[in-house]
Chains A and B, each alone.
Chain A
């Protein structure tokens, strides 16, 4: 490959975002169009990746490698495998839709908003492409700043509290990860190359220390129970696009981190910590679902449902078998689409009613039938109805969980009952029952809004009916990952005995 496709993918939105500075700030229409154009081109740029991708190998593809800080063995190295490619597609799509949903709802500091969003996109792409730990860390932290600004500047009334909490929560976790990275550097042969770090056998004690250091960063991001309390606040206060990106991509980073680092680099610790992780996942599933029943705020409810759904994701991850992992990765994509779609829809309705109070709604199926149809489909996907993508993910995760630890799957499956309960209850309170005052005469969805929701609807059904389109990317990469976790085909230590690095 001569074209640095991944670098283009990372830097095109960053440059595109900065180019908005050239437009006079009064011309908001031009700025919006340009932002949309940049995000759309970015989405098209992922196409060659899909077409040229070789599904039959687990080796990193589209690799780029340049020395960056040779003294510290830090490289600018990029590459993707069957797991990361799906997240690139998801990110590119989510950003396009986020731009569309911000079209009219963002009226203040328009250029800054879109610049922040495009910078964020570049950083997210970087996270999924980086194969150097320091590069990864830089992108990882770089995501925080635009998100911090998006919530803190364009958010709701409580935005400052929410955004500072979000920032501190994730920063504390990330710093522990940084310590872990440095520790790994010392013991892993003075390299930050993820692939090289993965091939080695570290002492169990070190692995456990590193596992918990990484856990701090990733669990907060997922968010796993009990470090989830930043999420409801951040979601509630964030503007629609912020919530969509947060739910759609950002919180997937945590689970992606587990996949990319904890599992292959620390296989023994991962296996040792499997039961606690499964327990936390199951708690998250039930806890998140039960707490949804007590919510009165629309966005808060969906935020807590994310905690429950991400519990499924980590459950599948730590089932440590083929179906669990594939289901988990698929469910991350699914959750990005479904919860992303739900937040898009909530944003649209909020623009019309200016309330997030569920009790204020009622009878919207009569007043906004098309919107009600879209929302119903998203609701059904969220409760995992067969035919939608949500079912495939949950089914594979639960089956994987059942094969690994049946008790975990049994408890987790009760989340399906609770999920139906809170989602259908939500749907009823908003769309059914008597039409409430103030819900009459709402403006129907316009073409832009329909075009924002339609791709999600199509993808939900397409993945639900033909999941192999995505699963086929995963088979080989996940198989390889499992080999690494279970120590199959491990080449053995290629470096001097690790004890020589220990004090």
Chain B
């Protein structure tokens, strides 16, 4: 194995360890080692990418991690087309976020800690995508969860931040519960956890059923569903989406890197990686598609009314991740990964743009206190505009190509849920364009609505912040050019590149239909932008009027459909009450302890009674003796 490949995860790991141990002494220079490490890692990732492009696929074990009986799990790397793409996404966005953080986190307490955690995250994510077996995937999966926990709770003295970190970890554990059982099932059926072994013999699953509580269940479906549980948690899909919006408590660069570009897409990566298993289960694919469509719509509606700029973008992320799931669900894994790729850049850009605004506004995040920032923050504005155009699906920009590919594939598929997903997806495209431009107009256009002091201090961010924005803007524009469809004169290079790993479904819709689909999605985007312009630029009094008229809907959306409250009422509170009132008080203290303490007490009480017999009165003794003798005689007589 080339050393440069090993260096990809090891450089950030070394940076993490060193920075954590001695970084405190470096003070404001603590960022140097992590930045250099991640940049070198990026270069190595590029080298790995070109090696793959030239046709070299690496699948090699490094050392045996766990060995027990016939279980043999290694730490090892698989570098194929899918991994190569992920390596580029992770290291490039991570590098830019590292640099951006120098400006964003300047002067913060725990500066070195922040960079150490970023390195830890980068290492974990790279291990996740590089692994050549399920267990290493799980290792990375949990390790990114840990980094996420640490970074969400970076301002740990703030209760809400500490709560959010804990919530993210625990909610993810629900998904991991299924994921782990899925791994067990894979191992029991295949006797191995290595990808090549499992996927190579995946055909054995066909027709195989498993006895689940008395009913026979298709083995492939069960495995796919269990693995999908993990994906639901990590990628914040319904019903485990609740952690992601709260995760915005973390510093904004973290939101961009972990909660938009990389970690949350791990679920999509998981499905794409395991596509040979998922392909065997149309039932699961249908479920993924439907759940994706529902989540996309659900999150987009919430994003329509949120006032915290990071929350808008967070719900937008949930919604966009759902697009990727639709792509995977309809069997167009490469389309899902394509959207993962383009989304990484335009969404990271949106988040970092928000961060720049937050810096300029001195940590104000409420959109109602902003407005007209365009003049004071031109670079932030223009890059934010490009990202918004990209996510809105304006032709030529990155988001357009990938979103279009997913919608086309959803329409194209024979899967029952395909048309439904297409229709919802197109509707969501309209909403996406609307809320993105609502945000843009509210932040950058119109009158400034903040305090006089905020206006006075308003400033464009330093170059260390704006340069990453500009570089990401390049990505947000051009990332889609790798997958220009044949209809527009391209050769869909992207799908062909990934075809050896992910396959490519046959497209049987006519060119005219394809053009019509494309037209409708462009129209949806343009209408969304238009409506946002009408409501927030031309008739700014209308939105509040609408909110008043539709007060019920508005409150429902503003409160995120009360899902958090629901979980609290049906899950958290009852469990805690059950724990205190039933388990501790009744079972443990009353029942078990009752017996444990009751037994000696009963013996003591019995002894107390017995003791009274021996009261020193000769007359009593005589009576007992007489009684005893009589009883004895009686027994003997009856016995004989």
List the interface of chain A (C-beta within 8 A of B). Answer: 165, 168-169, 226, 229-230, 287, 290-294, 321-323, 326-327, 363, 365-366, 380, 385-387, 391-392, 395-396, 398-399, 402-403, 406, 409-410, 413-414, 416-417, 420-421, 424-425, 428, 431-435, 465-468, 471-472, 475
Contact = CB atoms under 8 A, between A and B. Distances in A.
A386 B143 contact: yes
Given A386-B139, A387-B139, A417-B174, A428 B163 contact: yes
Nearest to B578: A290
A226 B593 CA distance: 10
B602 interface: no
Nearest to B180: A413
B475 to A, nearest CB: 32
Nearest to A322: B69
Interface string B133-156: 001001100110010010001001
A461 B180 CA distance: 21
Given A323-B71, A416-B180, A467-B65, A290 B579 contact: yes
Nearest to A169: B596
A467 B170 CA distance: 26
B176 interface: yes
B143 A287 contact: no
Interface stretch (B41-49, B181-189, B310-318): B181-189
Nearest to B153: A432
Contacts of B174: 417
Interface in B214-239: none
Contacts of A169: 596
A475 B177 CA distance: 28
A327 B68 contact: yes
Contacts of B451: none
Contacts of A413: 177, 180-181
A365 B165 CA distance: 15
Contacts of B67: 468, 471-472
Interface stretch (B51-59, B281-289, B528-536, B580-588): B580-588
A431 B592 contact: no
A363 B162 CA distance: 11
Contacts of B68: 322-323, 326-327, 396, 471, 475
B575 interface: yes
Given A291-B584, A386-B138, A416-B176, A402 B181 contact: yes
B157 A435 contact: yes
Contact of A291 (B153, B156, B181, B588): B588
Given A168-B600, A290-B578, A294-B580, A398 B184 contact: yes
Interface string B450-485: 000000000000000000000000000000000000
Consensus secondary structure, chain B interface: helix
A287 B157 CA distance: 32
Of A230, A292, A467, chain B has the most CB atoms within 10 Å of the CB of A467
A387 B143 contact: yes
5 contacts: A290-B583, A321-B69, A392-B66, A395-B66, A399-B187
Interface string B593-622: 100100010000000000000000000000
B169 interface: yes
B249 to A, nearest CB: 12
B162 A432 contact: yes
Contacts of A322: 68-69
Contact of A409 (B143, B181, B584): B181
A322 to B, nearest CB: 4
Contacts of B138: 386
Contacts of B579: 290-294
Contacts of B584: 291, 294
A331 to B, nearest CB: 12
B98 interface: no
B170 A417 contact: yes
Given A294-B576, A294-B584, A386-B142, A365 B180 contact: no
Of B69, B146, B157, B587, chain A has the most CB atoms within 10 Å of the CB of B69
Of A168, A169, A366, A385, chain B has the most CB atoms within 10 Å of the CB of A385
A380 B169 CA distance: 11
A399 B157 contact: no
A403 B139 contact: no
Contacts of B583: 287, 290-291, 294
Contacts of A290: 575, 578-579, 583
Contact of B146 (A293, A380, A433): A380
B539 interface: no
Contacts of A402: 181, 184-185, 188
Contacts of A321: 69
A388 to B, nearest CB: 10
Contacts of B575: 290, 293
A272 B181 CA distance: 26
A396 B66 contact: yes
Interface in B158-214: 159, 162-163, 166, 169-170, 173-174, 176-177, 180-181, 184-185, 187-188
Given A291-B588, A433-B157, A323 B181 contact: no
Given A229-B596, A294-B583, A386-B138, A366 B177 contact: no
A433 to B, nearest CB: 5
A226 B592 contact: yes
A226 B594 CA distance: 12
B64 interface: yes
Contact of A399 (B139, B184, B587): B184
Interface string B70-87: 010000000000000000
B177 A417 contact: yes
Contacts of B69: 321-323, 326
B166 A428 contact: yes
B157 A467 contact: no
Contact of B157 (A291, A363, A391): A363
Contacts of A380: 146
Give 5 nearest A-B pairs by CB, closest first. A432-B162, A322-B69, A386-B139, A432-B156, A293-B579
B162 to A, nearest CB: 4
A434 B163 CA distance: 12
A432 B157 contact: yes
Contacts of A471: 66-68
Contacts of A323: 68-69, 71
A424 B167 CA distance: 9
A385 B600 contact: no
Of A396, A414, A420, A465, chain B has the most CB atoms within 10 Å of the CB of A420
Contacts of A425: 166
B25 to A, nearest CB: 14
B64 A468 contact: yes
Contacts of A434: 157, 159
Given A385-B146, A402-B184, A413-B181, A468 B66 contact: yes
A292 B163 CA distance: 18
B71 A399 contact: yes
A187 B219 CA distance: 49
A420 B168 CA distance: 11
Contacts of B593: 229
A344 to B, nearest CB: 21
A229 B588 contact: yes
Given A387-B142, A406-B184, A471-B66, 4 more contacts: A321-B69, A323-B71, A386-B135, A416-B176
Contacts of A326: 68-69
